[in-house]
Structure formats: C-alpha cells, structure tokens
Amino acid sequence: LAHAPYSKFKVGAALLAADGQLYTGCNVESASYSLTVCAERVALLKAASSGVRKIKSIAVVADTEEPVPPCGACRQMISEFGEEGTEVISANLQGKAQVFTIKELLPTPFDPSFLPG
Ligand code: THU
C-alpha cells in the first residue's frame, strides 16, 4: 500500500517478469523527502531481490487526469532490467492508458557497456 503521507500522491506499479511472474510496488515516501522511492522502483527492487533479471513490461497507475509516465530515475532502472521493446504502460484510475517502449522514454540510456573493465 502506498506510503505517501507528504505528497498524498499514491502510485501503484506492477511488472511482468520474463519468467511470467508478476511483482507489484507502490511509492514509499520518507520524511527526508529525497529518499522517497517511486512505485516503479519498489516493484523492480522486489523483483530483483527475488532473482528477476529481465522484465517484459511494467505498468504505473495513479489517480490523475492524464496517465503519469515514469520519472527519469525509474526510466534508467527499467531500461537496465528491460530490453529495447520492453513496454511501459501508464494508466489512470479510469483506465485511460498510454503505452510506450522504454527505448522511446529513454533513447540513450547509461548502460553497463560504459563501465570500465
Ligand atoms: N511517484 C511514483 O511513485 N512514480 C512516478 O512515476 C511519479 C512519482 C511518486 C514519488 C512520490 O512519492 C510522489 O509520487 C510525488 O512525487
């Protein structure tokens, strides 16, 4: 359940791992605001800590007029656990949705090929 006492903005996420398993997440805020973790990264971290290394798609849902796309930090992590065609679905509570690929949202990611060694 979203822990958003400061922004009051509740966000949910669900990802489909390559092995077919589903992982959910919600935003978890901190009184030290910048430590807040978005719903997408909570779902990714839950999946990663269960051994998932590749995801097929990730959805993010919030109670907004227009569907909310993931922030830059989440795009980076989605790209690391995804592939170019990995789908990012943004939706609101009315079911209005937009579908992107992670490549569209983050065309030039920092990836492990830039790391030395
Ligand atoms: N938030 C998410 O969880 N995902 C997004 O895609 C956008 C922002 C959260 C972080 C914070 O708890 C609240 O929304 C306001 O920024």
What is the whole-number distance in angstroms between the Cα of residue 117 and the centre of ligand 1? 35
| DSSP codes joined into one string, 20-67 | S-EEEEE-B--SSGGG-B-HHHHHHHHHHHTT---EEEEEEEESSSSP
- Per-residue pLDDT of 48-94, as tens digits, reads 999 999 999 999 999 999 999 999 999 999 999 999 899 999 999 99
Mean pLDDT computed over every residue of the chain = 98
108 DSSP assignment:
S
Provide the annotated active-site residues. 40
Q: What is the pLDDT of residue 94?
A: 98
pLDDT tier at 117 (50, 70, 90 boundaries)? confident
State the closest ligand 1 atom to the C-alpha of 26, by its place in the atom list counted from 1. Answer: 3
pTM of the model: 0.97
Query: Is residue 7 in contact with ligand 1, taking CB distance under 6 Å?
Result: yes
Q: Is the pLDDT of residue 105 over 90?
A: yes
Let me know: does 87 contact 99? Beta carbons within 8 Å.
Answer: yes
Average pLDDT on 106-115 reads: 96
**3-state SS class at 98:** strand
Average pLDDT on 6-13 reads: 98
